Chains A and B, each alone.
Chain A
Amino acid sequence: MRTTNHRRRGAGMAAAGMSAALVLSACGGGGDGGDDGEAEAVDGGGTVSAHNCEPQNLQPGNSTENCGSRILDQLYTGLTQVDYSDDVEVVPGVAESWESDDNVTWTLELSDEYTFHNGDPVDANTFVESWNWVVDPDNAQQGASFFDKIAGFQDVVDGDADELEGVTAVDDHTLEIELEEPFGQLPQMLTYSAFYPMPSEAFEDMDAFQDAPIGNGRYEMDGEWVRDTEINMNRYEDWPGEDPGKPERIEWQIYSDTNTAYQDVQAGNLDLLGEVPPNRIENLEDDFGDNFERYQTSRFVYMGLPTYDDDFADADMRRALSMALDRDELNEELFDGTYTPARSILPPTIPQGREDACGENCEFDADAAAELYEEAGGPSELTLWTDTGVGNEEYVEALANQWQQNLGIDSVDFEMLEFAQYLDLLEEEDIGGPYRLGWLLAYPSPQYAMEPLYTSGAPSNRAGYASEEFDSKIDEANRADEGEEADGLYQEAEDILLEDMPVIPLWFQDYFVVHSDRVEDAEMDLRTYITVDQVTVTEE
């Protein structure tokens, strides 16, 4: 985690308001997350207990939230995986290698060593069967839309075909994927949980299957998912990958309140918690000494602007709103400096991310902002929109204060809505002012940080942003081979966004991990998942 660690240090420096000791221990721990690094693991690997929230479900094709995905991450191995510990690179999973001449037709060679926890082999047909089941509209899987780049997806959705035309098992260990359009980021996308293989028995009764999902991952279920209570898993000794799980057993304890979990870690009843409640952050040093660490993630929080509204149609006006925000001060004032102010769209935690891609458009300059705002004829009244939730109202109000102060806006109103209602209005383009939203990367590709949110007519394009220049740049980047060329094109696309400002980057949310005395080497990846499988348990 060398690169990330470096960035983390940078973030610590910026956070001047935090106590020096906190900054030191947050950075000084180094990439290994341990204190002296040379911890001796107990025989066999030991048992680690980790906090989790109650999953919505444990079905690979249906899980689109973190509580479920963290569990599935340990139970399943996809065709490809991401090595989050180093350069956030795609590495082989079930697929040993993959190639494509045109980024349209992909051929993946599968390993013959992977088996499901019930002994069934995992072969090319497994993937064909699993994916066809997930996209079948009758099965109502939430992750189905991730397959929309595969040829024949729309036919299946419309009921004109039963199976994805673009997925074929050439032989037991060769899988061929044909796409609608060239897409160089396919290997990244295939790391996502919607693409995991499932054994045939899953399709007979998915609701029963998810009580104890049978996967092909590092860990296998021990017993059933006890709702709202616990999920236990043991290391699957036949997992053929390079870095099998270190602990022998993971016991996920399900909590409804992170404050309770926090106290349980303090009391030594729980080993790992990755979601320290915000009100506890200032006590971390007292409560945990060295047993905590700060991580940057890909969690991006922004104010979207309804570009379909006449008041927000002018890019100069949108830039003025961005320049009128003092992100560092907001971070200090609202979060004691524990977030990372965002001056980019791509999270700096992925290799393509640049910390200050935005330049002067995200630099606080009250005078220039006021001038630009007036020239662009920005409205003298604003309504800010947010969903209700922990702290949301508070920071939306803080933003409003700065806009009022710096742009000479007369009055600011607030619309605070329950999440479901909020989404309805966003979907119907019925929002009349800046609105708060967040985005977390499902797979670490710059494509996923932008395409679903900002291309014309994309499902999550709440801003109603439509730019031919941006669309064609994304298209070009998607066509390019993965690597430097594509990276550069995605960054150019990002530059267009930062010039047009359909959304105002606010910050990337940092997470704090706390752990008990008996575990070491706990790390958190940019998805906000603790690498539970790689921790060292030092005491029975």
Chain B
Amino acid sequence: MTRYILRRLLQFIPVILIATFIIYAMVFAIPGDPIRALGGDRPMSEAVQQTLRDQYNLDDPLLIQYFKYMAGVAVGDFGTTFQGRPVTDIIVQRLPVTLYLAFVAVIIQIIIGVIAGTLAAIFRDRFIDRLVQVSSVLVVAVPILAIAFGLQFVFGLQLGWFPIAGIGSGFYSYILPGFVLASVSTALVARLLRNSLVETLQSDYVRTATAKGLKRSRVVGRHAMRNAMIPVVTFIGADLATMLGGAILTEAIFNLPGIGQEVFRAIQAQEGTVVVGIVTLLVLFFVVVNLIVDIAYAFLDPRIRYE
């Protein structure tokens, strides 16, 4: 197991090098001069533009720029925005917000998704199963934007139960955006688990367990669930990683100063260092979460062994 984890960790290095280079090259390839755009309608003097270009190595060819950047990263300098703010500052400020949001969303996803999926499977083809099926299709079909504005309007504006925007009210601030971010995935988790559990409940070992006279709750909870959860864990793992970078819309609508919004802004402003710094972090998250998911398999299914 330890050797397996070590080997996986070593594989991270090329993954991150390749990912950062591709991202850097993509930002580099966006047409238009980012320094000129900084001034907008009111052009900056040539001298000012040149100082800024030198400062951010923008006149160098792509490879040189990239190596200069990575040389900085190697000694812990992740660069700055065009306004001189260190990228590490941005990450330190914004990452907790995004993590908090993703955490709330995953919890919602697990609680509601797993309960709904389990109930639907146990009461297969009964009312509750139909309810779960129909409502999950509905949630997936409605655009996330509509869900967000709907929740904001009803629970924020009309009822006033939750804040409309910002992070000023701590945990309460994250509930509505958490639901929005979790909505589609929760529906998918419910459907995924239902189908997987229905299948598992028909397998031989579950029937054996039932035949041996085990209680229904023990058969489902201890034997069937562990197997049925494997695809769900894979899904939630992958989803968690996308949530970190892909919450742009939710963060914007609920005015949460998270990572997603900053990536969006930095791409528009062509701030290569910011984009690469944050995206590298996300790539790192993605591979780590994947590793954890893989390890989790071993616990869920004793047949899976890593060497």
Contact = CB atoms under 8 A, between A and B. Distances in A.
A440 B253 CA distance: 28
A229 B94 CA distance: 11
Among B38, B42, B45, B51, max chain A CB count under 10 A is at B45
Contact of A260 (B30, B50, B84, B255): B255
B76 interface: no
B255 A424 contact: no
A269 interface: yes
B164 interface: yes
A157 B37 contact: no
A145 B164 contact: no
A420 B39 CA distance: 10
Given A141-B48, A228-B257, A427-B36, A460 B43 contact: yes
A423 B164 contact: no
Contact of B45 (A144, A269, A418, A460): A144
Interface string A346-361: 0000000000000000
A437 interface: yes
B90 to A, nearest CB: 8
B83 A56 contact: yes
A256 interface: yes
Given A253-B166, A267-B156, A423 B33 contact: yes
A459 interface: yes
B157 A427 contact: no
Nearest to B264: A256
A65 interface: yes
Nearest to B153: A263
B254 A260 contact: yes
B160 interface: yes
B39 A64 contact: yes
A261 B254 CA distance: 10
B48 A421 contact: no
B85 interface: yes
B31 A64 contact: no
Contact of A145 (B44, B93, B152): B44
B163 interface: yes
Given A144-B44, A145-B45, A260 B164 contact: yes
A47 to B, nearest CB: 14
Interface string A147-169: 01000000001100000000000
Contact of A442 (B42, B93, B257): B42
Contacts of A142: 38-39, 42, 44, 48
Interface in A420-445: 420-424, 427, 437-440, 442
A125 interface: no
Contact of A267 (B36, B50, B83, B164): B164
A418 B48 contact: no
Contacts of B50: 137
A266 interface: yes
Given A140-B51, A229-B257, A420-B31, A263 B156 contact: yes
Interface residues of A, number: 51
Nearest to B157: A267
Contacts of B204: none
Contacts of A438: 41
Interface in B60-98: 83-85, 90, 93-94
Among A259, A267, A421, A442, max chain B CB count under 10 A is at A267
Interface string B150-177: 0011001100100111110000000000
Contacts of B36: 420, 423-424, 427
Interface in B20-47: 30-34, 36-45, 47
Contacts of A145: 42-45, 48
Contact of A256 (B33, B38, B153, B255): B255
Given A263-B152, A420-B32, A423-B32, A64 B42 contact: yes
A263 B167 CA distance: 16
B164 A137 contact: no
A144 to B, nearest CB: 6
B45 A420 contact: no
B261 interface: yes
A418 B31 contact: yes
Among A420, A422, A424, A442, max chain B CB count under 10 A is at A420
B50 to A, nearest CB: 8
Contacts of A266: 157
Contacts of A139: 51
Given A140-B55, A253-B166, A263-B156, A419 B45 contact: no
A28 B40 CA distance: 37
B52 A140 contact: yes
A280 to B, nearest CB: 12
Given A263-B152, A267-B157, A460 B41 contact: yes
A503 B166 CA distance: 42
A460 B44 CA distance: 10
A529 interface: no
Contacts of B118: none
Given A137-B47, A263-B153, A418 B32 contact: yes
Contacts of A255: 165, 255
Interface string B263-278: 0000010100000000
Interface string B217-260: 00000000000000000000000000000000001111101000
28 contacts: A56-B38, A57-B83, A62-B83, A64-B40, A137-B47, A138-B51, A140-B51, A144-B48, A207-B84, A227-B90, A256-B252, A257-B252, A257-B253, A260-B152, A260-B165, A260-B252, A260-B254, A260-B255, A263-B164, A263-B165, A417-B31, A419-B40, A420-B31, A420-B32, A420-B270, A421-B32, A422-B32, A439-B41
Given A138-B51, A145-B44, A253-B166, 17 more contacts: A64-B40, A137-B51, A141-B48, A142-B42, A227-B85, A255-B165, A255-B255, A256-B251, A257-B255, A260-B152, A260-B252, A260-B253, A261-B165, A269-B164, A420-B30, A427-B36, A459-B45
